[in-house]
Amino acid sequence: MSERQPTTGPDLTQGVDADSLDDGGLLAGRVGDEAVLLARRGDEFFAVAAHCSHYHGPLADGVIVGDTIRCPWHHACFDLRSGEAVRAPALAPIACWTTENRGGKVFVIAPAAPKPSARVVSTTATPRRIVIVGGGAAGFAAAELLRRKGYEGELSMLSDDAAAPVDRPNLSKDYLAGNAPEEWVPLRDEQFYTDQHIDLRLNTTVAGIDTQAREVALADGQRLPYDRLLLATGAEPVRLPLPGMDLPHVFTLRTLADCRAIIARAGEARRAVVLGASFIGLEVAAALRARGLEVHVVAPEARPLERVLGPQLGEFVRRLHEEHGVVFHLQDTAAAIEARRVRLTSGGEIDAGLVVAGVGVRPRLALAERAGLSIDRGVAVDARLQTSAPGIYAAGDIARWPDARTGAAIRVEHWVVAQRQGQVAALNMLGAGEKFDAVPFFWSQHYDVPINYVGHAESWDEIAVEGDISARDCLLRYMRGGRVLAVASIYRDRDSLLAEAGMEGRRSDPVYS
Ligand SMILES: Cc1cc2nc3c(=O)[nH]c(=O)nc-3n(C[C@H](O)[C@H](O)[C@H](O)COP(=O)(O)OP(=O)(O)OC[C@H]3O[C@@H](n4cnc5c(N)ncnc54)[C@H](O)[C@@H]3O)c2cc1C
Ligand code: FES
């Protein structure tokens, strides 16, 4: 996250030459004390807040796609006409101003009144009761959008977590590093759920689903009827079958409680061992370095993240962490954890007062399996995110869906995908019949280096590298049979956005067709 920058640029109330902006052009300026962005689309001009409502990303560095502006940092998308956040990760709107073109000069006039979100047009009856199982990325995004779209029926969100929905990606980044205040963590405060009449039940485990009676059974014996149900149970960290995994200084990281426990232990430890060079493992390593701990990473692969990002970026990530003092023990694994040390399979040992295992996650499928839903290494859903049971949708880390671009059934573990699927499932529970056609996107942050990734490539026959990886200015295209499957980039945010729009077919580009 970044702090609010001083407002700079021209005073847009004084007018700007229309010809100074090309079609798709963006100009950062100000209106009084407010940072405002002037955007041109065709012959129309729009004025909106210059910063994204997610983490304050500079929209002037974004891209216009259709009637929307996309944020360069994590690809949120805002309607230029209304300011509405139409695609996650932003969930709150940005302000809009009216504009006038007087004789070839465009003036920003006044704040525009907020517009309510368009209602879902449906031929089916609106459900009376919607139940969401899961209070994470997908579940929260679904609940928020249901209310934003004017859904007035009963809405329950059931979560076996003790905390209301949190900004989970932050738990391995700024919050764990001690750089984010407590108030950044909840996605919304308690009042939001009251105001929106969302029956949020925490510490509530759903034990079963009766698909015939259309009821969910809670672990305490209560039953809750539904007309539509969203399953968004997410994933849980894999626990290694190792001696010592149950010791009190050994942690995994998924929840806010996990994160707080790691922070408390980090205050007492001098050295930490991270098991696994996964995205979460490495982000934890970076965060613990920021807290001044010595950090050792133990992982079986030759290069971190190579399986997802390839050898070039894997090597860069290794060097980046080493420059920050992380010690790698690659092509090695932990054999046992003891009270004060980790014993390695290679025979070595590392003294450590804190151990964090980041060795991957497993989708939480038990409920879906018990309910008899179709399972395919995830909950199988169709393009509209509907499961094999009528009225039941699935979204997020558990869902395996047909990728719009390749047709292959895929399942990913990305924050933005989970949120966007929650949003599409919400629309479809209201009868919209919308396909989930977003191209997968994720980001990861290592110290001051963000890595953005668009698309989905489980394997490739070529990686085309553009730019200079070591200079932190690069774009890598993962190709198979000459087709670009995915793009990873560092500080090439605009190119990453253009790749996303190209892969979605919203922008004609032969590279991504
Ligand atoms: C520390 C961390 C950092 C991450 N950073 C990034 C990142 O930078 N970028 C990125 O793209 N992705 C990141 N991810 C992954 C991302 O957070 C997940 O992909 C996303 O949270 C998945 O959303 P979800 O709704 O499917 O599941 P979750 O967010 O895990 O939510 C699942 C919910 O279901 C509840 N639940 C499960 N079973 C039951 C049950 N039987 N009864 C009641 N409730 C139940 C859980 O309590 C939870 O509330 C990160 C993950 C972690 C843990
Ligand atoms: S700052 Fe805009 S999407 Fe995150």
pLDDT in tens, 29-66: 999 999 999 999 999 999 999 999 999 999 999 999 99
Which atom of ligand 2 is least distant from the CA of 74?
A: 3
Q: Where are the alpha helices (DSSP H) in 149-251?
A: 174-177, 190-195
> Residue 332's pLDDT is what?
98
State the residue for tokens 């910063």. Answer: 51
> Ligand 2 center to residue 146 CA distance, Å?
22
Residue nearest to atom 3 of ligand 2 (CA): 74
> Ligand 2 center to residue 421 CA distance, Å?
18
Residue 214 tokens, joined: 């259309």
Residue nearest to atom 53 of ligand 1 (CA): 254
Task: State what percent of residues in the chain have pLDDT above 90.
Answer: 94
Residue nearest to atom 11 of ligand 1 (CA): 414
CA distances (Å), origin 96, targets 111, 115, 237 = 6, 10, 42
Q: Counting runs of H as helices and runs of E as strands, what totals does the chain give?
A: 9, 36
pLDDT-based confidence at residue 3 (cuts at 50, 70, 90): very low
Residues 499 and 471 sit within 8 Å (Cβ to Cβ): no
pLDDT-based confidence at residue 2 (cuts at 50, 70, 90): very low
Residues 216 and 209 sit within 8 Å (Cβ to Cβ): yes
Which atom of ligand 2 is least distant from the CA of 55?
A: 1
DSSP calls for 46-86: EEEESB-TTT--BGGGSEEETTEEE-TTT--EEETTT--EE
Q: What pTM does this model have?
A: 0.97
Which bound ligand lies closest to the C-alpha atom of 441?
1
First-residue to last-residue Cα distance in the chain: 33
Q: CB within 6 Å of ligand 2 — which residues? A: 52, 54-55, 57, 71, 73-74, 76, 89-90
Give burial (CB, 10 Å; 0-12/13-18/19+) of 369.
exposed
Please give the backbone phi and psi of residue 397, each rounded to the nearest 5 degrees, phi first: -60, -25
Q: CB within 6 Å of ligand 1 — which residues? A: 133-139, 158-161, 168-169, 171-172, 204-206, 232-235, 253-254, 280, 364, 367, 396-397, 413-416, 418, 442-444
What average pLDDT score do residues 451-467 get? 97
Residue nearest to atom 4 of ligand 2 (CA): 74
Q: Is the pLDDT of residue 183 over 70?
A: yes
> Residue 70's pLDDT is what?
98
Which uninterrupted H or E stretch holds 421? Answer: helix 415-429
Which atom of ligand 2 is least distant from the CA of 75?
A: 3
Measured at the CA of 66, the angle between CA 412 and CA 443, to 5 degrees, comes to: 30
What average pLDDT score do residues 277-282 get? 96
Which uninterrupted H or E stretch holds 233? Answer: none
Which atom of ligand 1 is least distant from the CA of 255?
A: 53
Pocket test for ligand 2, best of 48, 52, 441, 444 (most atoms within 8 A of CB): 52
Length of the chain: 513
pLDDT in tens, 85-141: 999 999 999 999 999 999 999 999 999 998 889 999 888 888 999 999 999 999 999
Pocket test for ligand 1, best of 1, 75, 140, 159 (most atoms within 8 A of CB): 159
Which bound ligand lies closest to the C-alpha atom of 92?
2
> Ligand 1 center to residue 165 CA distance, Å?
9
> Ligand 2 center to residue 103 CA distance, Å?
35
> Ligand 2 center to residue 58 CA distance, Å?
8
pLDDT-based confidence at residue 513 (cuts at 50, 70, 90): confident
CA distances (Å), origin 188, targets 176, 371, 376 = 19, 31, 33
> Residue 6's pLDDT is what?
57
Alpha-carbon gap, residue 188 to 92, rounded angstroms? 11
> Ligand 2 center to residue 327 CA distance, Å?
32
Which uninterrupted H or E stretch holds 140? Answer: helix 137-148
> Ligand 2 center to residue 72 CA distance, Å?
7
Which atom of ligand 1 is least distant from the CA of 422?
A: 25
CA distances (Å), origin 295, targets 120, 240, 334 = 51, 20, 15
DSSP calls for 89-104: T--S---EEEEEEETT
Alpha-carbon gap, residue 432 to 270, rounded angstroms? 54
What average pLDDT score do residues 392-421 get? 97
Pocket test for ligand 1, best of 397, 400, 436 (most atoms within 8 A of CB): 397
> Residue 8's pLDDT is what?
78
Handedness of CA 467, 472, 475, 481 (dihedral sign): positive
Pocket test for ligand 1, best of 132, 160, 184 (most atoms within 8 A of CB): 160
**Extended strands (E) in 285-436:** 294-299, 327-330, 334-337, 341-344, 349-351, 354-357, 361-363, 379-380, 392-394, 399-402, 409-410
Which atom of ligand 1 is least distant from the CA of 236?
A: 30
Which atom of ligand 2 is least distant from the CA of 76?
A: 3
> Residue 7's pLDDT is what?
72
pLDDT in tens, 214-248: 999 999 999 999 999 999 999 999 999 999 999 99
What average pLDDT score do residues 328-354 get? 97
Alpha-carbon gap, residue 102 to 78, rounded angstroms? 26
Residue nearest to atom 50 of ligand 1 (CA): 169
